[in-house]
Structure 1
């Protein structure tokens, strides 16, 4: 492709409203342009990358035995009501009503396609002889992001590969899951993207086992907890700590807790300032509704409750923070003054609560706290649990090392769904004895447009993007220094034709611009190989060739240009 025949509107200045490198560089290179908050046009240069990533995804899905199809983006709301996900998604779900004749119809724009694919399978698959099967698509998704930001990293409309497996047994599901997991590893490796597979929560998708694939990035919105010692890694929502239960013995003769007035101080920050006390000496008491029953959760004052761990500790299907009326009913006080002493519901405590010798807690009375509360003495504590988010320095649950926390961008997610959707949507199969069973499902997603942005976020320098070989919009940038020099253009056109004939993507910068201007744009768009032809070099019979990552170019005889470029691609692909 010749630069003058395509559309690459580069920008010299960093856009003021672009917060992270990927957003800045995708705008500056002319890869994307914003239509409105959360919606972007992929321009010709950017869309070439999207297509290359999509093709890598497609090849690896096919290699793993998945079958491609294409489903509607518009979906009947009735399917979401049957699975209970209309409420689970809430405002994230784009939903609307429209008239057809005298009928009002209710639709959603697909945030994902579990309902659609399961409905399809419920109609078409009837027997174990048709299982297992995995199907996938590459399709636009829609989610009403409250705060679209960071360019195409967090948008309301995005391109996603979603795959769904259907099995007659857990053994079949495990084989399918492993095939997808391994395919994801190959995809990200081929894309040149550093990644960390981490244990993860399933969230509103459902299911009981999942892994996220995270791209480590300083601006990532997710927290990855990992151990360099053994390689353990998990999303912070899922990460276990290596702490163990240590239930304190009851202290005989311990003084009773002391009530202190804390007017209008309903937070640990407020009370710690008032009492001049470290938040680590507080017990934070939070009231939840677990499967319609109020329960209390205790963590140390400087720690955050992990709701996934709380849900598992109670064996609950549903968990949510209690409303004000429920809190007042079980504590006798408004929000901000709950404490474990005399609370009117079941409670569980984090491991670290047991290590507080004399705690400050809410007194279950307005504007009042207790000091000198001894866990296991002033309230019953027969067992403790891992209930908080892991933090840097916690012991690893798998080895003797400690954990660290890094930022990451989620680029893929694999789930073992079980039968959540097949039961809701009547997707069943008959076994060899003609007995009916719900089909066992898995689902597997990759954010294609997010992968593109993640590559830019993690592969750049001060000059611009540094594209990995297999996903670059073009592999070679061919730069004639003087487009008005007939000898230069004759040589450049021959190299362009020969590289193209060899199956290599080439972008020729045939603009009538200064060399420095072209070199800055070349660094900015970051193609892997640069070939420069100038009048002086041409007279000496040489082409100037360099990798984007090299500081200096190599002078290569003109006749060897094609073979040299091919070697660079082979050695760095």
Structure 2
């Protein structure tokens, strides 16, 4: 392709809308254009990158025996209502675009396709002889993000590969799950990415276990905790660890002690001259279930620890059935306005105890009149601890469970693991932190969707059994931007050779020099004929502009027929290293073939 014929407009300044380097560079280099918030047009150069990623994905997926299909983007609400996810995805902070057709029927634009694929399996899979079965697709997905940002990282429209497998038992599912782990690892490796597979929270998709694939980058939205020995890695939402040991309590007898102005852990510990590891702090939350029922939650946690919001929401989701629901619609810390709607009297905030009386809750429709009390494992074994007294400006000091305070019955793990914590598998290993961009996620769904939608098969004994399912997602457009976020410099993008839009660019410094034009045309033709995808910068621009654009575009190899042309040589530069060599004209094709082979092996 000749640049003079390509739709290419580069920018010298960063667009105001862009926040992270990859977003800025893709806009500046003319790879994409913003159409609306979270909606982008993929221009010719970026489309070539996406096609290359898609080809690698197809090759690796097809090698596992998975079959490609294409599912509808427009999905009927009835399927999502059968699975119980319609309200989760459309109400409160739901991410599904929902609409009505002219007959008034509810529809959604697919953010994911578990319901659709399960309905197909329900209709078409009858016998164990048809199992296992693995289908996948690549298509545009839609998610109504609350705050679209970072370009293709968190958009409202994006390209995704999603796959779904069906099995007769858990053993078969685990085998496919391991195959997908290997296939995804191969995909990211072939795309030239530095990545890490980590344990992850299954979120609204559900299931018994999942893994995320993270591209390591400083701008990553996700925090990863891992050990140096390579035996443990997890998203911070899922991570577990051994917290630091609690220090011995300095209090040996119980008393109700005045503690004026100590409504934070820091102020309290400074006033009492004690460690936060000997404080039981009590945090108030408000959860709304899909039935409309609101429950007030008291969480007791060690003073030096933080609540992991994802772990807490998962615990509350597991308790949904007790309140007639299936899932959590919202989980918030009730502000003064929210408290005014249900509190019978002002709450002693900053001085709450685990046994805060239920009489603080008014009789209000759709509100459970008792607190749901959860206690984190970090405080179960504390003795002679400090905690609130339910009286402003007073704390209990030297308190003990079963004496001054009753321990809540539900013991849970809701603490947030931190860098520096000890690892469970080896306490000599401490957790370290890195930032990552999620580009893939694989799930062991089990029978969550097959049971909900009645998708069964007949086994060898003639019994009708729910299908066991797996789910495997990969962000194709996100992967493209992640590659840029991981590999760039002050001059622009540095594409991995395997997914670069073109592998080489021939730049003509002086269009008035017929020898340069002849050499450039000769190289352009020879390289393309040899299978090396090559651009020709034949624009009527200054040499400096062309060189800057070549760096900005991130094309891996640049060939310049310049001053050394009189000696029968041209300059061959490598974008990643800025290394430049003078190569005889007749050796350029062979040299690039060798360089590309090394870069993509």
After TM superposition, is the score higher than 0.5? yes
User: SS at the partner of 1:563?
Assistant: helix
Please name the residue that 1:285 is paired with.
282
User: SS at the partner of 2:101?
Assistant: strand
Deviation at 1:223, TM superposition (A): 1.1
Aligned 8 A contact 1:328 1:334 in 2: no
Deviation at 1:77, TM superposition (A): 1.1
Aligned 8 A contact 1:243 1:351 in 2: no
Distance 1:245 1:276 in 2: 18
How big is each residue's C-alpha offset from its partner over 1:201-235, in whole Å with a ceiling of 9 and x where there is no partner? 10001111000111121111111111113431001
Distance 1:564 1:157 in 2: 41
Aligned 8 A contact 2:241 2:423 in 1: yes
Q: 1:171 to 1:357 in 2, by over 3 A?
A: closer
User: SS at the partner of 1:484?
Assistant: coil
Q: Which is worse superposed, 54-63 or 342-351?
A: 342-351
Matched, 1:353 2:350: no
User: SS at the partner of 2:159?
Assistant: strand
Please name the residue that 2:116 is paired with.
116
Q: 2:303 aligns with which of 279, 301, 304?
A: 301
Please name the residue that 2:529 is paired with.
501
Please name the residue that 1:551 is paired with.
578
Q: 1:570 to 1:432 in 2, by over 3 A?
A: same
Deviation at 1:482, TM superposition (A): 1.6
Please name the residue that 1:98 is paired with.
101
Deviation at 1:514, TM superposition (A): 1.7
Q: Which runs of 5+ in 1 are unaligned?
A: none
Please name the residue that 1:459 is paired with.
487
Please name the residue that 2:568 is paired with.
541
Distance 2:171 2:248 in 1: 43
Q: Which is worse superposed, 369-378 or 540-549?
A: 369-378
How big is each residue's C-alpha offset from its partner over 1:511-569, in whole Å with a ceiling of 9 and x where there is no partner? 122221111111111111111112x3221100111211233311111111111111111
Aligned CA RMSD, in angstroms, stands at 3.2
Aligned 8 A contact 1:358 1:371 in 2: no
Deviation at 1:133, TM superposition (A): 0.5
User: SS at the partner of 1:443?
Assistant: strand
Please name the residue that 1:390 is paired with.
417
Distance 2:357 2:67 in 1: 55
Distance 2:454 2:513 in 1: 71
Please name the residue that 1:48 is paired with.
48
* TM-score between the two structures when normalised by the length of structure 2: 0.86
How big is each residue's C-alpha offset from its partner over 1:494-524, in whole Å with a ceiling of 9 and x where there is no partner? 2111111111111111112222111111111
The count of aligned residue pairs is 565
Superposed, which structure 2 residues align to 1:115-154 within 5 Å? Answer: 115-154=115-154
Distance 1:404 1:283 in 2: 27
Distance 1:326 1:129 in 2: 60
Distance 2:495 2:488 in 1: 8
Aligned 8 A contact 1:332 1:364 in 2: no
Deviation at 1:435, TM superposition (A): 1.1
Superposed, which structure 2 residues align to 1:195-214 within 5 Å? Answer: 195-214=195-214
Please name the residue that 1:80 is paired with.
80
Please name the residue that 2:431 is paired with.
403
Aligned 8 A contact 2:351 2:395 in 1: no
User: SS at the partner of 1:238?
Assistant: coil
Q: Which is worse superposed, 293-302 or 514-523?
A: 293-302
Distance 2:303 2:488 in 1: 41
Distance 1:245 1:175 in 2: 39
Distance 2:544 2:332 in 1: 60
Please name the residue that 2:257 is paired with.
258
Aligned 8 A contact 2:98 2:109 in 1: yes
Q: 1:482 to 1:355 in 2, by over 3 A?
A: farther
Deviation at 1:467, TM superposition (A): 0.7
Deviation at 1:445, TM superposition (A): 0.3
Please name the residue that 1:416 is paired with.
444
Distance 1:297 1:210 in 2: 27
Deviation at 1:364, TM superposition (A): 3.2
User: SS at the partner of 1:108?
Assistant: strand
Q: 1:180 to 1:255 in 2, by over 3 A?
A: same
Matched, 1:436 2:464: yes
User: SS at the partner of 2:499?
Assistant: coil
Distance 2:344 2:58 in 1: 54
